[in-house]
Structure 1
């Protein structure tokens, strides 16, 4: 197949993998999209225009070689397509499932701009790597040479795992510390299975374990082991804790029973999916079954919460957001999926307080959009006299996340932070002001995307390798 034979977007319409019926999928936690068949993946990949300046690639945080692996897929050279995909992305099967392609690669597809509908990049990426696992093309990690130097990674989320993969392939000894009982961070406990089924995550963790990465789980730095002890044990340290402190609401009634944080709610649901015993779920505290649920927030975490509540058997699920649909930060694709599954969005609405204890209602004030704020988005303004009460038995706060005070928790005042509380690190090398200590992902950026954490982890691993090589270079001189 030649390059000219790729330009099928004029004749072939955009087509996503079949989506399971909303009335069926909203009753279980299985992924909602079917897999592409081989012929369909080739057909959709052939729609790529192979443009000279691939905006899909430049707008991907990992700068994946998207046009190349689309062409190879269209030619039926799927193993080569996987090799190209894996070369720049540690976890392509994960990004293919959870990246907001509508805001990144697909949202900047040239044929989308010309009105032909974007290439289904995410679905093809998922198909390529799922097939690679099935066919045995994903090989064990076997370093060409082993080194005595070791790196301690604090946090087993996407940034930490990406760095562990990168470092281990180079023969460095890697130990990953995490507070949870399973590795994966938000990939395991923050993202619901209907977006990312857990065996997809576990197979990557098993690959790292088989490669010799040591996971020290159920370990909270600052309590079970000191930060200083980790620094003393390893030649370099990478901080990849993410941000888990939930932004709270200071409003009348905010301390009532029945108001819960999104991270606690999603973690409980995911633990149940593993078959774990979760007392807070069994008691109903973190279970939406039979309840009127209100979720406050408009980001992807809020979308995860509303769609989880539907599946748990809530009698009604409403999402409050203070701006309108066009100005919400969450993926429009996720909003559409949620609406199909029975979620009601209450736009231009903000909570003023809560009634009852246990909670039985949310006091809502209506908003309108005014002048743009510093980011260019229109600021919500209060409309006087239009307050009302929305009945609710469970209120989930999905207002975003903030960093924990790591210098205090870890008794390391020399670990400097920004005015937002994030770790201060060089955005190129990811080094902090502590020698041999690096930081990546949300703990540096603030709450962001998985794909950015993966990029940071890989870049930091390269910087750490250079740092570890320095003593050898000095000795050689």
Structure 2
């Protein structure tokens, strides 16, 4: 270990921008065995590992780096799996530059961070190849059942934990495939879909039941779910897109990011997507403008490039330094030909039968707002128009009004519409009902959803155990 002084940081080979613009395959190649050992050996084995403390799952990163450097890959995988339900997914899509790698001690000393995400991906891909990832086989089956609403990362992480304890689990989801945004929101060039599908298959073989194409409040009532199961976990995520106003906001050609990305991902599955075939959700041959600065905006601009857009611009109201999206993803998008227009905000849209342009206000950063970030303010008289045949709104997501949709007035929500749940136990105001993930904390990272799902599962297990230990009163 401690080779960071002599061995420089090295990432897996990245496919050239020209090569990767034409497909939806992942852009980073796999580490070779010796290269993974070499890079893992750069870890300084800190007494206080900031990489671990800044990981939402508190993964034992230094330990599995050392095991990798020593060639003990089976042990490294077992250790990573102990704290992370989906390490092969986090190794691909976690913003390591903001979390573990961004807090690596040797990075602070000028030697370049350990490539933690790439090593994690190597460990878990090797585990799948070697057959070390096996379906869960609980030591004993239990009679209690739990219904989970939402087959995204939070719900699936909870399902895995519950099945390990022998609890019967049914996952309900409105889509025809499990995975949530892992399946339909994140493009294949960041997360190839067979990676998600094999994990879904493994969960099904572990005894998790899936009821897909099932929308709560339409196909089954929330009250009925509570009657069916001993506990219910709400892990729906947040899918309601934030909207834009202004003149022309309702013109055809202005679409939501979630619709656009879902259509693209369905096409990669081989599904028939009429909105894609008609051009409504297809960037081919179009001038594309994406509005937003988060990871969803990065997914949209890079998808548009692959669909054959003639130009792709990303408008963001703050500057590069204040952009919420991953620095790494922004750099990848620029390599692929995306133009970022900083300090720009839409004021309206032009066009008659369809959008042909975005009216853009030039912005500047003023005094800090309540969050501590410098607030953008308009520069008078500096408006301009960006040509556009397709405008994609990537402004973030908000929760749907679940109490009214599900006829559950007792389900308490915050003023932002997120479900109120205890921070530690994930219990809601309704008996036997728990909530976790984005529907509680707001739109966030996959790794946080996994943590929340695991914690909710443990809380459910504890409560079921407590209930089972209470003696039944004699009549």
Q: TM-score range by the shorter chain?
A: over 0.9
2:247 counterpart of 1:214: no
Distance in 2 (CA, whole Å) between partners of 1:475 and 1:8 is: 59
Please give the root-mean-square deviation of Cα atoms over the aligned residues, in Å: 0.7
Task: Look up the match of 1:395.
Answer: 391
Task: Look up the match of 2:370.
Answer: 374
2:25 counterpart of 1:47: no
Distance in 1 (CA, whole Å) between partners of 2:49 and 2:441 is: 26
Structure 1 residue 60: deviation in Å? 0.2
Distance in 2 (CA, whole Å) between partners of 1:372 and 1:98 is: 31
2:449 counterpart of 1:453: yes
Match of 1:141 among 120, 133, 136: 136
Match of 2:154 among 151, 159, 173: 159
Task: Look up the match of 2:464.
Answer: 468
Distance in 1 (CA, whole Å) between partners of 2:6 and 2:467 is: 59
Distance in 2 (CA, whole Å) between partners of 1:471 and 1:69 is: 37
Distance in 2 (CA, whole Å) between partners of 1:167 and 1:80 is: 23
Task: Look up the match of 1:233.
Answer: 228
1:188-267 paired onto structure 2 within 5 Å: 188-267=183-262
3-state secondary structure, aligned to 2:233: strand
Task: Look up the match of 1:444.
Answer: 440
Structure 1 residue 182: deviation in Å? 0.2
Distance in 1 (CA, whole Å) between partners of 2:29 and 2:472 is: 56
Task: Look up the match of 2:354.
Answer: 358
Task: Look up the match of 1:280.
Answer: 275
2:173 counterpart of 1:169: no
Match of 1:303 among 298, 301, 323: 298
Structure 1 residue 373: deviation in Å? 1.1
Distance in 1 (CA, whole Å) between partners of 2:350 and 2:134 is: 56
Task: Look up the match of 1:3.
Answer: none
Task: Look up the match of 1:79.
Answer: 74
Distance in 2 (CA, whole Å) between partners of 1:306 and 1:180 is: 24
Match of 1:327 among 322, 328, 334: 322
Structure 1 residue 476: deviation in Å? 8.0
3-state secondary structure, aligned to 2:147: strand
3-state secondary structure, aligned to 1:294: strand
What is the TM-score of this pair, normalised by structure 2? 0.99
2:146 counterpart of 1:119: no
Structure 1 residue 279: deviation in Å? 0.4
Task: Look up the match of 1:312.
Answer: 307
Distance in 2 (CA, whole Å) between partners of 1:210 and 1:340 is: 41
Match of 1:435 among 413, 431, 438: 431
- CA deviation profile, 1:424-473 (whole Å, cap 9, x unmatched): 00110111010110000000000000000000000000000011112221
Structure 1 residue 475: deviation in Å? 1.6
Task: Look up the match of 1:406.
Answer: 402
Return 5+ residue gaps in structure 2 as ranges. Answer: none
3-state secondary structure, aligned to 2:246: coil
2:284 counterpart of 1:289: yes
- CA deviation profile, 1:250-295 (whole Å, cap 9, x unmatched): 1110000000000000000000000000000000000000000000
Structure 1 residue 99: deviation in Å? 0.3
Q: Which runs of 4+ in 1 moved over 6 A?
A: none
Distance in 2 (CA, whole Å) between partners of 1:342 and 1:457 is: 38
What is the TM-score of this pair, normalised by structure 1? 0.98
3-state secondary structure, aligned to 2:190: coil
3-state secondary structure, aligned to 2:355: coil
Distance in 2 (CA, whole Å) between partners of 1:101 and 1:199 is: 22
Distance in 2 (CA, whole Å) between partners of 1:51 and 1:400 is: 37
3-state secondary structure, aligned to 1:360: strand
Distance in 2 (CA, whole Å) between partners of 1:468 and 1:430 is: 14
Distance in 2 (CA, whole Å) between partners of 1:194 and 1:215 is: 27
Distance in 1 (CA, whole Å) between partners of 2:334 and 2:153 is: 29
Distance in 2 (CA, whole Å) between partners of 1:198 and 1:89 is: 19
Distance in 1 (CA, whole Å) between partners of 2:90 and 2:468 is: 37
Distance in 1 (CA, whole Å) between partners of 2:21 and 2:464 is: 50
Distance in 1 (CA, whole Å) between partners of 2:441 and 2:467 is: 30
